């Protein structure tokens, strides 16, 4: 469980936002048929790029607690605390590794190095991941495309930033 959280935190800003947005979209309550037909693809579990963008904005706005249009390091740290402690508090060492990885991710995403993230900066990686997984480039990420991307995903390196996929799937996981 702890190793899975470490891996989640190491990719929080990038692919975690993308996969979290996809999961959140998939879990939204059913809409009336007419509204649903206009807003979502026909196949259940498919996600449009517009839905992805809306979910990224929703996630960003949740973290932007002072509503200034930016996610500061402090706001990011507060959000990370909620993610890290979601199931149960990690060990001190695991928490430090997760925070170090999150700090590196923040620095990578803060492309203009102003110490805060704009929605555009925070959106860039998740949308790039969406576009990469959308292999036919129709703006709809299908269940099959998600499955293929998951299957083809490279193994995570075993570094201080997080475990490899093999370590995540070790005994008892």
Q: How confident is the model at residue 125 (pLDDT cuts 50, 70, 90)?
A: very high
Average pLDDT over residues 39-64: 85
CATH of the domain at 19: 1.10.238.10
In a domain, 127, yes or no: yes
pLDDT computed for residue 154 by the predictor: 72
Average pLDDT over residues 152-158: 63
Average pLDDT over residues 59-86: 89
How many domains does one find in the chain? Answer: 1
Residue 106 contacts by C-beta under 8 Å, 6 or more apart in sequence?
13, 73, 76, 117
In a domain, 167, yes or no: no
Average pLDDT over residues 61-72: 95
CB 47 within 8 A of CB 138: no
User: What is the length of the chain?
Assistant: 173
In a domain, 122, yes or no: yes
Higher-pLDDT residue of 82 and 61 is 61
Q: Which domain holds residue 7?
A: 2-25+45-155
In a domain, 61, yes or no: yes
70: left (phi over 0), alpha (psi -120 to 50) or beta: beta
In a domain, 160, yes or no: no
């Amino acid at each position: 469980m702890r190793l899975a959280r470490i891996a989640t935190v190491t990719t929080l800003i990038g692919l975690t936002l993308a996969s979290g947005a996809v999961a959140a979209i998939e879990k939204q309550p059913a809409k009336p048929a007419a509204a649903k037909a206009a807003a979502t693809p026909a196949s259940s579990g498919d996600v449009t790029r517009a839905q992805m963008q809306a979910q990224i904005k929703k996630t960003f706005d949740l973290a932007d607690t002072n509503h200034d249009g930016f996610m500061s390091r402090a706001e990011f740290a507060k959000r990370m605390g909620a993610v890290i402690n979601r199931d149960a508090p990690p060990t001190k060492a695991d928490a430090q590794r997760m925070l170090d990885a999150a700090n590196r991710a923040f620095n990578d995403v803060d492309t203009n190095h102003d110490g805060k993230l704009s929605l555009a900066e925070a959106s860039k990686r998740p949308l790039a991941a969406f576009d990469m997984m959308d292999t036919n480039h129709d703006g709809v990420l299908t269940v099959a495309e998600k499955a293929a991307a998951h299957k083809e995903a490279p193994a995570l390196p075993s570094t201080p930033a997080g475990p490899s996929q093999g370590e995540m799937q070790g005994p008892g996981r």
